Amino acid sequence: MEQTRPIYSFEVFPPKPTTPVEAVTSAFAELSALKPDFISVTYGAGGGLNGGRLTCELAARLKNEFGIKPVAHLPCISYTKEEIASVLEDFRAHGITDILALRGDRNPDMPEKNDFHYASELIDFIRQRGDFELYAACYPEVHPEARTAADDLRHLKEKVDKGATHLISQLFFDNASFYDFREKCDIIGINVPIEAGIMPVVNAAQIQRMVSLCGASLPRKFTVMMQRFGHSPEAIRDAGIAYAIDQIVDLAANGVDGIHLYTMNNPLVARRITEAVSGILGR
């Protein structure tokens, strides 16, 4: 039976607005050399419109200097319609055609502007303003603010119905939660590709921060690994890479639409994972 090749993509983030862009460009060059299908660039919710300019500049460089399709993240709750319209013009002027449309995390330092309350409203707004390819976020373990899992799924379907053609998942460490979610999406009629978000955990501090931010559940296999190897930077890096590879192999065997690797701008980790799974992903 002919299988379609899973999409393989990376996420990177811009440096702090006070740091020169050159701080990340050599990492971006190395990541681009691994030839993912696209690289998405986050948008710092705390950076104001300046955060958007950096995202735009780096996305344009990925495209023009490194020949990689960029996807620009765009959160909306802290912006007015005029501000979002100006960011879209900037994207258009830089030849950026793919946008991950997001609500954005609530941030006490960034007052909400009340023009946008949910990502679906942003998707609607962008759809009316031109020909962008729209991606949206999804949550295999349910978004932490959702009233119920069913509510969250209905809201996800709204994003697809309004024009998102591609979903990228929040990171998770238990593939079973992703399979369960994927089945529910199928039942409710969400039939766009869903890329699985994989975060290779390569140090102990990272896992504490990530889990408190996104609430991912930790399988016993993962916590045992952290306890056993957490004391040694080399051991936890190797174990984290091996864990991510194991997740990807299982996902590919179960017909995943795509893998979205949260690279943390770390080309060494991305290279080791890519080399290990390239045959499995048909690359």
Q: Which residues are designated catalytic? A: 11
Q: To 10 degrees, the CA torsion angle through 144, 150, 154, 155?
A: -10
Selected binder of ligand FAD within 75, 140, 240, 267 (CB under 6 A): 75
Q: Which of 254, 259, 257 is nearest to 277 (CA)?
A: 259
Query: Residues with Cβ < 8 Å from 20, sequence gap 6 or more?
Result: none
Per CB under 6 A, the list member of 56, 58, 70, 73 interacting with ligand FAD is 73
Tokens of 51: 């955060």
Angle (deg, nearest 10), helices 175-188 and 233-253: 30
In the set 9, 32, 120, 247, which binds ligand FAD (CB under 6 A)? 120
The one among 32, 42, 247, 265 contacting ligand FAD by CB under 6 A: 42
The interface region with ligand FAD, picked from 112-120, 198-206, 217-225, 226-234 by CB under 6 A, is 112-120
Alpha-carbon distance of 91 to 135, in angstroms, equals: 15
Residues within window 76-105 making contact with ligand FAD, judged by CB under 6 A: 102-105
- Piece of the chain touching ligand FAD by CB under 6 A; list 59-67, 88-96, 151-159, 241-249: 151-159
Q: Is 27 in the site for ligand FAD (CB under 6 A)?
A: no
The correct pick among 24, 27, 39, 45 for binding ligand FAD (CB under 6 A) is 45
Q: Are 247 and 198 in contact (CB under 8 A)?
A: yes
CA 16 to CA 255: how far, in whole Å?
A: 37
In DSSP terms, 39 is beta-bridged to 10, 70
| Token pair of 38 as six digits | 């696209």
* Residues in region 181-210 near ligand FAD by CB under 6 A: 197
If binding is defined by CB under 6 A, does position 271 make contact with ligand FAD? no
* Pick 194 or 252: Cβ nearer ligand FAD: 194
Question: Binding of ligand FAD at residue 143 (CB under 6 A)?
Answer: yes
| C-beta closer to ligand FAD: residue 45 or 241 | 45
Q: Which residue's CB is nearer to ligand FAD, number 199 or number 239?
A: 199
Member of 37, 98, 141, 152 binding ligand FAD (CB under 6 A): 152
- DSSP symbols for 139-174: -TT--TT-S-HHHHHHHHHHHHHHT--EEEEEE-S-
Hey, what long-range contacts does 230-234 have (CB within 8 A, 24 or more apart)? 230/204, 233/203
Footprint of ligand FAD on this chain (CB under 6 A)?
A: 42-43, 45, 73, 75, 102-105, 118-120, 137, 143, 145-146, 151-152, 155, 159, 168, 170, 197
